[in-house]
């Protein structure tokens, strides 16, 4: 499978944002393209232009939020706003960069190889199952994202987050966009790299904990995973504050509970 760069229509389709590029104009129903483009980035560049200095835009996406095992992983990616790479498919077809969930595993792996050299910068951050149990998913996700952003070669001026909730908060300047992984090249790149990185981690765990299907399900619920939990219980890589333990009478005593009256990060075993 080979890759190439193709020209892209980079014209912005939206109008200038009332609040410096951070209040998005939602796309019309059915208007989300399958191939990611630079519409959001172009709006941000126009709104945040400062004396001709380039605006550094980071796309951020996560994977593993709903899994029962393994870390939550976040990637922050920055492009130079050039045409994104595409893959050669069968015949004359090409495969465009987009949300990792819309790509096959083979295409994700091929894109990941190309993106690491094409991007102007990227970094991975993660929060462990223990950290998720300790502080909850929202805070663990924020920590993982901050770790990724702080590991970039230069701090971004603005961050595009996939979804409608700003879990980063101050001091980060954030624009939230629903389906940003299908509309923004930087977020699509982050989506692919986060997914490939975490899938690799879970495949490695599968070698040490066979039977849970980590290589296939990446720690998400599956019949194989649920059966292994019923028979053998959770591994050291499972999230012990998750509700799946409520249905496992033999292992329910292992569940961790955060005490809301004791402050963030306090755990009790009930």
Binding residues for a divalent metal cation, as ranges, are: 61-62, 162
Residue 189 contacts residue 59 (beta carbons within 8 Å): yes
- Number of Cβ within a 10 Å radius of residue 209: 16
Residues flagged as binding site: 61-62, 162
What's the distance, CA 50 to chain centroid? 29
**Could you tell me whether strands 94-95 and 57-63 are parallel, antiparallel, or unpaired per DSSP bridges?**
unpaired
What Å distances lie between residue 246 and 2, 122, 223, 242, 249, CA to CA?
A: 48, 39, 17, 8, 7
What Å distances lie between residue 265 and 109, 111, 135, 154, 257, CA to CA?
A: 36, 37, 5, 31, 10
Contacts by residues 150-157 (CB-CB < 8 Å, ≥ 24 positions apart): 151/76, 151/123, 151/124, 151/125, 152/58, 152/76, 152/78, 152/121, 152/122, 152/123, 153/120, 153/121, 154/56, 154/121, 155/56, 156/56, 156/57, 156/58, 156/76, 156/78, 157/48, 157/55, 157/56, 157/57
Q: What is the three-class DSSP state of 88? A: strand
């Amino acid at each position: 499978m080979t890759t190439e760069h193709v020209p892209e229509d980079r014209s912005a389709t939206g109008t200038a944002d009332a609040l410096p590029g951070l209040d998005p104009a939602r796309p019309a129903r059915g208007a989300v393209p399958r191939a990611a483009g630079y519409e959001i980035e172009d709006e941000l560049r126009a709104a945040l232009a400062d004396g001709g200095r380039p605006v550094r835009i980071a796309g951020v996406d996560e994977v593993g939020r709903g899994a029962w095992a393994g870390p939550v992983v976040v990637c922050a990616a920055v492009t130079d706003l050039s045409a994104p790479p595409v893959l050669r498919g069968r015949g004359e077809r090409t495969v465009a960069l987009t949300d990792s969930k819309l790509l096959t595993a083979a295409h994700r792996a091929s894109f990941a190889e190309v993106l690491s050299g094409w991007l102007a910068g990227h970094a991975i951050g993660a929060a462990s199952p223990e950290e998720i149990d300790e502080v909850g998913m929202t805070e663990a996700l924020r920590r993982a994202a901050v770790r990724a952003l702080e590991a970039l070669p230069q701090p971004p001026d603005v961050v595009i987050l996939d979804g409608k909730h700003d879990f980063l908060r101050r001091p980060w300047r954030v624009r939230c966009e629903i389906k940003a992984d299908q509309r923004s090249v930087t977020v699509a790149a982050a989506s692919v790299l986060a997914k490939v990185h975490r899938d690799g981690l879970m495949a490695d765990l599968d070698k040490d904990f066979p039977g849970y299907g980590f290589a296939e399900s990446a720690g998400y619920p599956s019949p194989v995973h649920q059966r292994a939990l019923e028979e053998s219980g959770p591994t050291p890589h499972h999230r012990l504050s998750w509700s799946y333990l409520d249905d496992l009478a033999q292992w329910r005593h292992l569940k961790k509970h955060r005490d809301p009256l004791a402050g963030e990060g306090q755990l009790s075993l009930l």
